[in-house]
Amino acid sequence: MSLIEFKHVSKTYPNGVKGLKDVNLTINQGEFVAIIGLSGAGKSTLIRTINRMIDITEGQLTVDGTDVMTLKGKSLRRFRRKIGMIFQSFNLVSRSTAIKNVLTSMVPDMPWWKVLLGIFSKEQKMHALEALDKVGILDKAYTRCDQLSGGQQQRVALARTLNQTPTIILADEPVAALDPVTAHQVMGDFKRINEEMNISILINIHHVDLALKYATRLIGIRAGEIVYDGPVDQVTQEILDSIYNGASIPQAGD
């Protein structure tokens, strides 16, 4: 069964701007999808509809068999716990240690007084340390995040997401703030997590070279419409031109 399915999905913002136009898309468990396109093309809108950070206005969007627009309250919160979200700006508590940041992903399942007192069980701490180990920064577990490099901070964010055992990770420009070497390392982390843990990954990215190197499938979006969708090894310069410059998509046999 498909994991994520867009059927004739559109998003019109309250000011009338069309963020998505009649999007049809099926994503299966375990895929690593990169989404590229010009600034303002609709990449963030596409990714943020999946965990209902943004509501669609037309069509149907199902995730793991659930029509996401039917979710509210507790069921919406439970649904969101299965979907990790990574941002360009890491969104960490910079004055807390790496392990404390990872442990915060457990907070929704804990009684308020334990949260207030910062009481985490041995099992929870072990789980958090395992997550830090998976992204190669176990040695930084007790370092404050404001003393870590950008790449290390993004890895803490990734560990925090892994700690909630997601089935999907959505990443909105996760390497945009990183230098090229660190960006490759973080993309490598995503790839390893995708392959070893079979977690589906959807990533918005401006760097085409990184998209082609690490993802398996590329989606090109232009003015809210999907103009390319296929395996990365079939992407040609003509296809990239069409995504970025509006040239028509070359058809096989042209």
The residues that touch ligand ATP, with contacts defined as CB under 6 A, are 13, 15, 17, 19, 37, 39-45
Q: How far is the CB of 224 from ligand ATP (least distance, A)?
A: 7
Smaller CB separation from ligand ATP, 125 or 206 = 206
Smaller CB separation from ligand ATP, 45 or 153 = 45
Q: How far is the CB of 23 from ligand ATP (least distance, A)?
A: 12
Q: How far apart are CA 88 and CA 74, in angstroms?
A: 28
Tell me the three state secondary structure of residue 250: coil
Which burial class, exposed, middle or buried, applies to 122 when counting CB atoms under 10 A from its CB (0-12, 13-18, 19+)? exposed
Phi first, then psi: what are they for 119, rounded to 5°? -90, 110
Neighbours of 23 (CB within 10 A): 25
Residue 85 near residue 161, CB atoms below 8 Å: yes
Smaller CB separation from ligand ATP, 57 or 104 = 57
Q: Which of 2, 19, 5 is nearest to 221 (CA)?
A: 19
Residue 19 near residue 225, CB atoms below 8 Å: no
Q: How far is the CB of 104 from ligand ATP (least distance, A)?
A: 26
Smaller CB separation from ligand ATP, 38 or 212 = 38
Beta pairing class for 58-63 and 4-12: antiparallel
Look up residue 47 and give its DSSP letter: H
Smaller CB separation from ligand ATP, 39 or 245 = 39
Q: How far is the CB of 210 from ligand ATP (least distance, A)?
A: 15
Q: How far is the CB of 109 from ligand ATP (least distance, A)?
A: 31
